[in-house]
Structure 1
């Protein structure tokens, strides 16, 4: 099958395929390395070195286990146990005293006493207690409370027989050393030892927390890039196999699967990018040169990532391509395209989470920060700001993932350098893309908007009235363009240059006559019309002479569209003996009509400013009527048919004009003169 390469569709298909191939090769060389068919116990035939830095997981894990095992078990003391135990002793003696007060020796009451006291004393021991008089009970109770109050301060761990035995022995020693009688000591020891219970309980949560901290405190044992993993002639160990596996150096016969996966990923991402452009920016999609530009920028972003990742992925100028997208296309395309590019960049750095997050941050800030660029230096300022934000992100994520302070600081420094490098590359790439793809960036527009530009200086000196008119039109156009989502800088700069053709014959235009004689009074209307309309052609020639961008030439050529030079047309009809023979087309501009929002706004602003200036005593009502009539006339004439302005946009433009004009033509106080 022969493909017709002159077909725009065929060119796009080829561009898509070449883009996919180029990016796939970059990613495959990044993700796929030489494989080795080895297993534990094999003898290595060659030295195998680490192609990148990797953590020795086995040794790191061993060290973590050692640190965990060194953490002592954690316990919490339950102080309520002591209170409860002392309360139980008091309850025991209260119930015995109560029993004695009843004066009964009923065996059933002894059983009831056993239940009420909740202490595991035998019937004989309870009977022995009931045979004591109240004074003996009081002495025994006081001694038990005193001794137990001290013993229960000991740490008695649960399920620890040694601790329980130690506490019980302490009770026995203290009671035996007291001045109690033998039978009271025996009863006291029995009650005291029964009352000993654990008060120090294992805290699983705290123990695990300390173990986790101990594990986290272990610095990963890192195998550096280029470090020998396996030496030639030596047996391959389990540790070697784990490291080789982590590095992806073991031959798993999955290379073909990796290739297919990478290509599929690239196809999917590029397709989504193109579909987005096709769906929301059809005009951009139809422009083959712009489509090549988009593909080139995507390739550059992956190429930069793949190349600089060899040194350090943190040196990648991640903001470069987003800034180029914003300057060459617009920030909305930049935002969306770079979301997809982040996936490709992530793949180029082996899905490093830190770089992926940095790419997203740089993409968003790089696109948004240059949205309202004012001067070329803004690129540097923006890159420094992005660099600072990158440092903050790198430090935050770095310390979450690692405790290696020096390594995190080094990465942060590299990320800042990468951001500043973005500015250098952006400024370097910009002229190439501007000239190659005939794109006028905001920077270029700002450069030619300088009043010291040769054309502007000529306009000021040779046609000062036109210069002043152009400045007023620029103010009207800029504000209106911003209201309808146009390019305010383009609208403003187009206004500065739209009438430069009047430089050739300035005195034939009313704003430059300044009360002097009007040369049109001495020539016929047809010649006057030819002179008036020729300022468009003259303007285009001057623009070419000074190598002004194509968009400025288009604005000059289209700002009058095919409108009628009404004054001279009516004059010609009034002066003609046969007015019906006066052809309207002889008094019209050659066009074409405006093809963009900005030029359409320029047309309206130009007409409005000139018309309002002609009002002898401008009032708010007169100005509003004039603005309404001009917009309505241009709409009815079909001058706005080829631009993207809607009726809602025209209403916004109308209101914007009125607001700006009210500031220009506001009523002033008439100052009194001295007598």
Structure 2
């Protein structure tokens, strides 16, 4: 229970650290557009969301002002009072000619001063009276001075006497007071509505649309789009900003959780969980740093995702590498949705690297893989760029960087392998390839001190390699694990049947418990030898687990014949049971190789019966419960063992006896 809590706590800490690393490299922030008219863009700018293209402030203000001026100011006409009507009648008796001009002036309307009226497009004004409204030009109504001059002119036509007309004007002046009053409130209301009706947008940019490509010159239209993007980001409503932030964080957290669960499930038991998680954290940090760099120099196709997937697939299996590739590109995409231009070619290179990395055996293999990754990345990059309409110069840069991707991936891979071996003591196929050299000091000593065990171990290694390859496990680890699994027998080789000659067996003279102690000791002594010679941790585990907690049946039966009470646990290996596929394969190979060797016939049916019996025993004793092997995989392993063992035991053609003289 405590162990489970500790593991869950480690998982939570790992998720938080992974989450913080991603936030460190890709914080949710908004664009800072620094491009100006005439500048050359250093990178693609792609719309992260849909937004309207806004008019520049000067243009928008001109259009709004024009729209406001097109609205005629409102003049409200005041009806003539009864008092003024009576006054007009009284004056008209004295000056009959005045009635008609005064009524005309009243009808047209009088304002105090035309120069004080608001500016109007085409000098149009709307006059609203009790009889309705009409749009009239400014010259169709009178100012106070114009009304006075108009009446004076009519008077002069009649009397041609300035003194008389001055007297007339003085009398009629009260009738010429303004009857057109400016309705400022209504005018402002109408003009504000007209301003608001002027659209701010001149276009629309859709999410994912390329605003400007790298190396293009910023023109007026592009600048408007860039400013509109900046405005849209800066003026998102707070709730919208929160939603955007929350969605990105939740997606990232989900990705991190899925990665942890899958890595724990796929990359099982070879190394402690804490070590594997530290590897993932450091790998994520390194590659996010790398991605920021290649984006800064606008060569994203140089991003060596294949190196990351190859490192993990070489250790945790193909699916581990593929899962991590998807995770890393997913995290980059969440915080940089504009990067979807590069996602497909880079992701394919990562998946391809994961699939083929398990076949790496030599420097030639590395070179071939680098070439294949380069060609594959270039092919998908070319298709991608042609679909997006990339210009010729930029297309050349992208194709060149895609071609360089394979070489860079291999260089980065080699560097990472050295780094991880030094820091985390994590082994790779190259480590195992080096250890598979039969001139290794331990193997050379084993061949001299325990030749029977040596030949048995070579056979187990070959069986293990073939079986692991058939089920997609690490065949190099299985091969080397088979070579070293019995190195502990060098301490007392004569106590193991494959090294006994002449029919003498020292166990015949020992009590069963002592015999069992000697047999069990080869496991612990093998672990000590492995550690002394700095064998990798996965191989040490295979040495420790290759017998699991199996029952040493011959001596258990012998003890039951001698003693009244026998504890079965005393006659079992100390374990633990195999914790990886490779370890379980070596346990099975070790057992079937020894068992089949004791069978007289070499027929396939007899060999299969022996192999099936061994598998049945191991399964009944729960030796394979923690290895992660499926029934289908066990069937495949069984078929491989039968085929290889049958081939190794085929009968030779009889030749005539050679007589020695």
* TM-score for the superposition, normalised by structure 1: 0.63
Which sections of structure 1, spanning at least 5 residues, go unmatched? 1-5, 37-43, 57-219, 230-236
SS in 2 for 1:640: coil
Q: Distance in 2 between matches of 1:325 and 1:315?
A: 20
- 1:415 equivalent to 2:402? Answer yes
Alignment correspondent of 1:425:
412
> Would the aligned equivalents of 1:501 and 1:536 in 2 still touch at CA under 8 Å?
yes
Q: Distance in 2 between matches of 1:325 and 1:482?
A: 17
SS in 1 for 2:305: coil
Distance change >3 Å, CA 379–CA 259, structure 1 → 2: farther
1:74-473 → structure 2 map (5 Å cutoff): 224=215, 238-239=220-221, 241-242=223-224, 244-245=226-227, 248=230, 252-254=234-236, 261=244, 264-275=247-258, 277-278=260-261, 281-282=264-265, 287-312=273-298, 313-346=300-333, 351-375=338-362, 377-402=364-389, 404-434=391-421, 436-437=423-424, 439-473=426-460
Distance change >3 Å, CA 627–CA 282, structure 1 → 2: closer
> Would the aligned equivalents of 2:373 and 2:405 in 1 still touch at CA under 8 Å?
no
CA displacement, residues 374-407 of structure 1 (integer Å, 9 cap, x when unaligned):
3355334312211122223333443454574443
Alignment correspondent of 2:42:
52
CA displacement, residues 405-432 of structure 1 (integer Å, 9 cap, x when unaligned):
4432232222222331121112112233
- 1:653 equivalent to 2:652? Answer no
Alignment correspondent of 1:546:
533
Q: Displacement, 1:251?
A: 7.0
> Would the aligned equivalents of 2:43 and 2:215 in 1 still touch at CA under 8 Å?
yes
Q: Distance in 1 between matches of 2:259 and 2:267?
A: 11
Q: Displacement, 1:47?
A: 9.8
CA displacement, residues 296-332 of structure 1 (integer Å, 9 cap, x when unaligned):
4344333211122111323322322222232232221
Q: Displacement, 1:490?
A: 2.6
| Two-structure CA RMSD over aligned residues (Å) | 3.8
Alignment correspondent of 2:22:
23
Alignment correspondent of 1:504:
491
Q: Distance in 2 between matches of 1:390 and 1:453?
A: 40
Q: Displacement, 1:498?
A: 0.9
Alignment correspondent of 1:614:
598
CA displacement, residues 563-585 of structure 1 (integer Å, 9 cap, x when unaligned):
333334444555x4xx3245544
Q: Distance in 2 between matches of 1:555 and 1:503?
A: 17
SS in 2 for 1:580: coil
Q: Distance in 1 between matches of 2:547 and 2:378?
A: 52
> Would the aligned equivalents of 1:537 and 1:557 in 2 still touch at CA under 8 Å?
yes
Alignment correspondent of 2:468:
481
Equivalent of 2:582 in 592, 598, 612:
598
Q: Displacement, 1:546?
A: 0.9
Which sections of structure 2, spanning at least 5 residues, go unmatched? 47-210
Count residues with an aligned counterpart: 487
Equivalent of 2:611 in 621, 627, 635:
627
Q: Displacement, 1:539?
A: 0.3
Q: Distance in 2 between matches of 1:400 and 1:459?
A: 62
Alignment correspondent of 1:79:
none
CA displacement, residues 582-609 of structure 1 (integer Å, 9 cap, x when unaligned):
5544443222232333323322221221
CA displacement, residues 76-133 of structure 1 (integer Å, 9 cap, x when unaligned):
xxxxxxxxxxxxxxxxxxxxxxxxxxxxxxxxxxxxxxxxxxxxxxxxxxxxxxxxxx
> Would the aligned equivalents of 1:244 and 1:250 in 2 still touch at CA under 8 Å?
no
SS in 2 for 1:320: helix
Alignment correspondent of 1:531:
518
Equivalent of 2:478 in 480, 486, 491:
491
Q: Distance in 1 between matches of 2:610 and 2:470?
A: 21
Which shows bigger deviation, 245-254 or 503-512?
A: 245-254
Q: Distance in 1 between matches of 2:411 and 2:476?
A: 24
Distance change >3 Å, CA 586–CA 278, structure 1 → 2: closer
Q: Distance in 2 between matches of 1:411 and 1:649?
A: 43
Q: Distance in 2 between matches of 1:382 and 1:658?
A: 33
Q: Distance in 2 between matches of 1:596 and 1:356?
A: 34
Alignment correspondent of 2:56:
none
SS in 2 for 1:319: helix
Alignment correspondent of 2:554:
567
> Would the aligned equivalents of 2:303 and 2:346 in 1 still touch at CA under 8 Å?
no
Q: Distance in 1 between matches of 2:424 and 2:635?
A: 35
CA displacement, residues 510-530 of structure 1 (integer Å, 9 cap, x when unaligned):
222344754445544443333
> Would the aligned equivalents of 2:19 and 2:256 in 1 still touch at CA under 8 Å?
no
Distance change >3 Å, CA 350–CA 670, structure 1 → 2: same
Q: Distance in 2 between matches of 1:527 and 1:518?
A: 14
> Would the aligned equivalents of 1:54 and 1:223 in 2 still touch at CA under 8 Å?
yes
Distance change >3 Å, CA 573–CA 330, structure 1 → 2: closer
Alignment correspondent of 1:39:
none
Q: Distance in 1 between matches of 2:212 and 2:538?
A: 60
